[in-house]
Chain A
Amino acid sequence: AQKITQTQPGMFVQEKEAVTLDCTYDTSDQSYGLFWYKQPSSGEMIFLIYQGSYDEQNATEGRYSLNFQKARKSANLVISASQLGDSAMYFCAMRETGLRGGSQGNLIFGKGTKLSVKP
């Protein structure tokens, strides 16, 4: 069965420093997609970045980058130059595979990492 593991329940980072949030995944599929979402205290889910399994380059979106190591099945999120507004829960997710293969459509989420940015 597919699984997403986020081993860091909480992390602290100093403002303006970079931070890496860990995510490992388990799947037997060759084709899959990995997502990172941010959930601030207000509750909404904000899409940050996406990495496809066949993408040769690591995904980047502004201050967010994804350190994709396929052989190790890891997809760590790197936030550069942390800001106070980055304090939030961060979730790693992947599309669930259907019984006949291919994307079932829904996402499977990890337990999340709570990031706190210190001034």
Chain B
Amino acid sequence: DSGVTQTPKHLITATGQRVTLRCSPRSGDLSVYWYQQSLDQGLQFLIQYYNGEERAKGNILERFSAQQFPDLHSELNLSSLELGDSALYFCASSVDPGGTYGYTFGSGTRLTVV
């Protein structure tokens, strides 16, 4: 157990639907990062939150949104799903916003859009 908890582990849904992925960071970590891993795009950074505030954005689609709550857990919302959104979604956490002391990854949520 890395200390970062992602739920659910697997998710199968239909095109056009909306899903929410959840991440609880390692105890003491204030920063949360979301990554998407797909066969064609590789590992892509989506978005980062630090202590409840959005800090950095990567290649996140407008159909996707995220937030970090006061208890520091984060949710990634994916809407109007397309087949191409099928991927492994990782959450990682770090103590500080710059990742100075490294990162802890969750085990990922595998999303399949059918």
What is the interface of chain A, defined by CB distance below 8 A to chain B?
Answer: 33, 35, 37, 42-47, 50, 91, 93, 95-96, 98, 102-112
Majority SS at the chain A contact face: strand
Q: Report the minimal beta-carbon distance from B24 to chain A, rounded to whole angstroms.
A: 16
Q: Are A106 and B48 in contact (CB under 8 A)?
A: yes
Q: Are B2 and A103 in contact (CB under 8 A)?
A: no
What is the bound-complex CA distance between A44 and B56, given in angstroms? 23
Interface size class of B (residues with CB under 8 A): 20 to 34
What is the bound-complex CA distance between A40 and B50, given in angstroms? 29
What is the bound-complex CA distance between A114 and B31, given in angstroms? 30
What is the bound-complex CA distance between A94 and B18, given in angstroms? 32
What is the interface of chain B, defined by CB distance below 8 A to chain A?
Answer: 2, 31, 33, 35, 42-43, 45, 48, 50, 55-56, 58, 88, 90, 92, 94, 97-100, 102-108, 110
Q: Are A44 and B48 in contact (CB under 8 A)?
A: no
Query: What are 5 A-B interface contacts by the 8 Å CB criterion?
Result: A46-B105, A47-B102, A104-B48, A105-B94, A106-B56
> A residues within 8 A CB of B102?
35, 47, 50
Q: Are A103 and B99 in contact (CB under 8 A)?
A: yes
Q: Report the minimal beta-carbon distance from B39 to chain A, rounded to whole angstroms.
A: 11
What is the bound-complex CA distance between A43 and B110, given in angstroms? 9
Q: Of A35, A47, A50, A104, which is within 8 A of B56 by CB?
A: A104
Apart from A47-B105, A50-B102, A91-B43: 19 A-B pairs, beta carbons within 8 A? A33-B99, A42-B107, A44-B107, A45-B108, A47-B102, A96-B56, A104-B48, A104-B98, A105-B48, A105-B55, A105-B56, A105-B98, A105-B99, A106-B35, A106-B56, A107-B45, A107-B92, A108-B45, A112-B43
> A residues within 8 A CB of B50?
105
